Amino acid sequence: MSKTATLTVDGNSYELPIIEGSENELAINISKLRGASGLITIDPGFKNTGSTRSGITFLNGEEGILRYRGYSIEDLAEKSSFLEVAYLLIYGALPTQAEFSSFQEQITHHTLVHEDIKKILDGFPSEAHPMGVMSSLVTAQTAFYPESLDPNRSWDAVNLSIIRILAKMPTFAAWAYKNEIGHPVNYPDNRLNYTENFLKMMFALPAAEYEVDPIVADALDKLLILHADHEQNCSTATVRVVGSSQASLYASLSAGINALWGPLHGGANQAVIEMLEMIKADGGNIEKYIAKAKDKDDPFRLMGFGHRVYKNFDPRARIIKKAADDVLGKLGVDDPVLEIAKKIEEVALEDEYFVQRSLYPNVDFYSGIIYRAMGIPTEMFTVMFALGRLPGWIAQWKEMRENGEPIGRPRQVYTGSTLRDYVDINNR
């Protein structure tokens, strides 16, 4: 028999169905509550609100579990490739060799972007943050492919939009960087795989040989896998809500990029390095900054610490911490901020304040250190996160459309003035 919950308000009882997920998660379905009772529920920041039923990513924050389509993040990070994970997230199953070859071939075929993209890039001052450039270039795809605006397109047409954006995103990212530093852009090299091609477009200089370092390419691939999806986080929820109005895939993804940009979400990786640099420049006084983070009158937070859903440990952070040691060792990079990061982690994990609030290092505490060792500049870190999260956003957008989900439109509890008379401007 299916479970129900009973809500009693002012002596009236309402029976609410309980939905059960495949990992035995329970949720009270309140979708008909307002019709029956006039009541709504309120939950700022949606901390305890499920917005959808999803078959893409399973996350258990208490036990530190993260799985894409049932496969553990540990397995995927060790054995898979980013492009294979992208296929898994978007199409729901690991590809056969033939499916993967065809997918890879289609992506390779679409890496080139329209030459007029350069004119758009030219319009940006070099100080432009690359996340702003990225979101603009992704929205600009609607101008180059106006048929993508039609919400009633065939599945094949939607799939072509998906392939196009997966293929072009590394080109946009590398070009945003080249524009920032005033260098000529590099065109995609279709002999290389997804990650290698991106690295070459980022770092190759005119009239100079460029060899992709396999250690760097492997590490980047792993980082992209770790960021590929994370169920209903701020940017993904944004993509789904924007897409629920039947806005195009490109417009929805662009909104996701903007949501990711903030320092409390994807912008944290940039903020972590800036914080570690600041602590280093200030003499490496870790205790001082731990005290600042604990002081409620001080806006300073320990960036890279805490997570909305992980309350024990972030499984991605474990993989990344190990990778940081490994990559820096292999590349022979001795970065003093890695030592500061490790010390902060050590001190915070023993500190009452952090323990009581279940604040642990998150995925971005160490990712910036690896990006830096690869030569990726700080302001590009969040772009790297966006590159990784792209297949997750696409998969979630596609699922939302396939489920025929209604337009996202929350309610509110109004706390403003009650009705009052208009007063003429001369009498105020």
Which residues here bind ligand CMC, judged by CB under 6 A? 45, 230, 233, 264-266, 268, 293, 301-308, 357, 359, 362-364
Q: Which of 221, 229, 314, 364 is catalytic?
A: 364
Minimum Å gap between C-beta 269 and ligand CMC is 8
Q: What is the DSSP string of 309-374?
A: S-SS--HHHHHHHHHHHHHHHHHT---HHHHHHHHHHHHHHH-HHHHHTT--B-THHHHHHHHHHT
183 is a catalytic site residue? no
Q: Which residues contact residue 359 at a Cβ distance below 8 angstroms, ignoring those fewer than 6 apart? A: 302, 305, 306, 348, 353
| DSSP-assigned beta bridge partners for residue 28 | 18
**Residue with smaller CB distance to ligand CMC, 304 or 391:** 304
Minimum Å gap between C-beta 59 and ligand CMC is 11
Minimum Å gap between C-beta 198 and ligand CMC is 21
Q: Are 336 and 280 in contact (CB under 8 A)?
A: yes
Beta carbons within 10 angstroms of residue 179's beta carbon: 22
Alpha-carbon distance of 127 to 261, in angstroms, equals 16
**Residue with smaller CB distance to ligand CMC, 188 or 266:** 266
Three-state DSSP class for 16? strand
129 is a catalytic site residue? no
Nearest C-alpha neighbor of 256 from the set 275, 243, 273: 243
Q: Which of 297, 307, 314, 325 is catalytic?
A: 307
User: What residue type is assigned to position 148 of the chain?
Assistant: S
Minimum Å gap between C-beta 364 and ligand CMC is 5
**Residue with smaller CB distance to ligand CMC, 103 or 305:** 305
**Residue with smaller CB distance to ligand CMC, 46 or 155:** 46
Which pair of structure tokens corresponds to residue 248?
Answer: 């195009």
DSSP code of 425? G
**Residue with smaller CB distance to ligand CMC, 167 or 303:** 303
Minimum Å gap between C-beta 340 and ligand CMC is 16
Q: Which residue is nearest to ligand CMC, using beta carbons?
A: 306
DSSP code of 305? B
| Catalytic residue positions, numbered | 307, 364
